[in-house]
Amino acid sequence: MKKIILIIIYSFFWKNFLKFFIGLKYVNEKTLKNKKQFILIANHNSHMDTMAIMSAIPSRYIHKVHPIAARDFFGGSLFKKILMRYLVNATLIQRDRDDPNNDPIDSMDKMLKKTRSLILFPEGSRGVPGVMAKFKKGLGYLIQRNPEINVIPVYLDNVYKTLPRGKNLILPYNCSIKFGDPIKFKSMEMDDILLSSEKAMQKLMK
Amino acid sequence: MNKIFNSVNLIAEIQWVIAIILAILVFATILFWFWNRINPSKLVDEMQLRTRSWWVMCIIFLFASIVHPVVTYLALGFLSFLTLREVYSLLNLREVDRSVLFFCYLSIPIQYYFAFKGFYTLFLIFIPVFMFIIVPFLLVLTGETKDIIRSMCILPTSLMLGVFGISHLALLINFPEMNSNGVSGKALLLFLIFITEANDIMQFVWGKIFGKHKILPRVSPNKTWEGFIGGVISTTVIGCLMGFLTPLNTWQLIAISSSMAVFGFMGDAIMSAVKRDFGVKDMSSAIPGHGGILDRVDSLSTTASPFFHLVYLILITS
């Protein structure tokens, strides 16, 4: 049931809306086609980012892909929670790691062990357009625990212009979403992981 | 009975045009294929890419203009929309202009509704009279005056070229008050688009083959006097040959076609200057080989309204 809702929303509505009305161009989105499980990392400047990425995911396993969202921002009311759960397929996590019983890395790790895929915004929150902030360490911990999973960088080029931060009017703008090839890590050191992911992202930015 | 006869006759004429267009496309495809076989070069590759895009554009256009009038209006409205989107994506407008952009986009359905309903006067004054005043005032309402002149110039101009200009194509379809003369709007629409695009191609071809003396050296190095004059002459000849689509006589055809060639050149030159100012070669990469949507419709946006009004003038005075 959830799968059908998600397919209707993303593969039909958002995909066509973004393609024909907004002017979003999908670049190399076929790279997702024959991968069962992956972690997508993307730059984050606007709420449209999640919609754009979800609309590019093949409908066959869209129900298994979960955007990661901050509980303190999106988990406010019950309505918001239900909306996030059923219409965005999001997983809400704690932003900080103060509570050891409720570690965000643990909950994301659990999702990956259940063969789910994740969409992460490793900059932590919506940043300044065009400037890539330092990636959070959480990405590194997650990759260290799941070294065999494909990590695919996604660059959203000008997508934020359709819905800039603080605005609530969606307007068309010619923009694109670029998928990179899976990142190859030299080693499982934290610095190495973060550096290679940042480099992969920078390569897509050009 | 007469009416039925007329409509059948009309279909025959449009069928002729479709046959001509397809014949040209097939000819070009075969020509460039052989050319590429014998003497491959970058130019031929580009020509093949362009021809392929022409196929797509022609099929979309013919489909949209033949199926049902409503489809034609929707398709032309979408073309206006794509043009505006391309302009606004390129021109780096201020973030406060976003709310005004919404009203600019909103003017498209309104303008095409007037065309569809045949509200001739409203159609004519909506953008040049009302939006011309409303859009700058909405910009004032945003409260931000820094760089406001730039937006005040860009937005009404984009509406004039992208919406007002192109929507005249839609107005041609039900060329109002003229039906007693046996004028078919669809045939006129086909005629206009055919000679405008033929003019683009002819100027390009003449310029490539004989081009020596640059006409606008600082704006567009590709435009030459040879291309311009050759284009005007061949467009006039093509216009006369395609005259069976219009109710005009030969002299009127010569006048209309040659002036359309000049107007098309002007539109091309205006857009070249805009692109030069922004340091880009093409508006976007929407159509392979051609560049953006606006690179293709730039000449249409300046020929559509002069064509409509000149033909209108000729028909009501004669």
Interface test with B, best of A174, A175, A176, A178 (most B CBs within 10 A): A174
Q: Does A115 touch chain B (CB under 8 A)?
A: no
Q: pLDDT: is B266 or A82 the higher one? A: B266
**HSE-up of B70 (CA within 13 Å, CB side)?**
0
Q: pLDDT: is B185 or A158 the higher one? A: A158
- Which pTM does this prediction carry? 0.89
Q: What is the pLDDT of residues A84-132, one digit of tens each?
A: 877 888 888 877 767 777 778 888 888 888 888 999 888 877 777 777 7
Q: What does the mean pLDDT of chain A come to?
A: 85
Distance from CA of B278 to the nearest CA of A (A): 16
Q: Is B98 close to A167, i.e. CB distance below 8 A?
A: yes
Q: How confident is the model at residue B6 (pLDDT cuts 50, 70, 90)?
A: very low
- Find out whether B311 and B246 touch, Cβ atoms under 8 Å: yes
Query: What is the interface pTM, i.e. ipTM, of the complex?
Result: 0.87
The span from the CA of A169 to the CA of B60, in Å, is 31
Q: What is the pLDDT of residues B210-259, one digit of tens each?
A: 888 888 888 888 889 999 999 999 999 999 998 888 888 899 999 999 99
Q: How confident is the model at residue B3 (pLDDT cuts 50, 70, 90)?
A: very low
Give residue B130's pLDDT: 95
Give residue A130's pLDDT: 75
Give residue A153's pLDDT: 92
Chain B residues 253-272 within an 8 A CB cutoff of chain A: none
Give residue B176's pLDDT: 55
Q: Which residues of A touch B283 (CB under 8 A)?
A: none
What one-character-per-residue DSSP string does A92-157 give? EE-SS---GGG-HHHHHHHHHHTT-EEEE-TTSS---TT-PPPPPHHHHHHHHH-TTSEEEEEEEE
Q: Does B89 touch chain A (CB under 8 A)?
A: yes
Look at residue B178 and tell me whether its pLDDT is greater than 70.
Answer: no
Q: What is the pLDDT of residues B149-165, one digit of tens each?
A: 999 999 999 999 999 99
Q: How confident is the model at residue B136 (pLDDT cuts 50, 70, 90)?
A: very high
Give residue B81's pLDDT: 95
Query: CA of A23: which chain B residue's CA is closest?
Result: B85
Q: Which residues of A touch B88 (CB under 8 A)?
A: 172-173
Among A96-100, A183-187, B27-31, B232-236, the range with the most confident prediction by mean pLDDT is: B232-236
Q: What is the pLDDT of residues B279-315, one digit of tens each?
A: 877 777 777 777 788 888 889 999 999 999 999 888 8
Among A1-5, A11-15, A183-187, the range with the most confident prediction by mean pLDDT is: A11-15
Q: How confident is the model at residue B110 (pLDDT cuts 50, 70, 90)?
A: very high
Q: Does B86 touch chain A (CB under 8 A)?
A: yes
Q: What is the pLDDT of residues A139-164, one digit of tens each?
A: 888 888 888 888 999 999 889 999 98
- The mean pLDDT value for B15-22 works out to 86
For chain B, give every domain's residue range: 1-67, 90-174, 183-318
Q: Is A172 close to B95, i.e. CB distance below 8 A?
A: no
Q: How confident is the model at residue B181 (pLDDT cuts 50, 70, 90)?
A: low
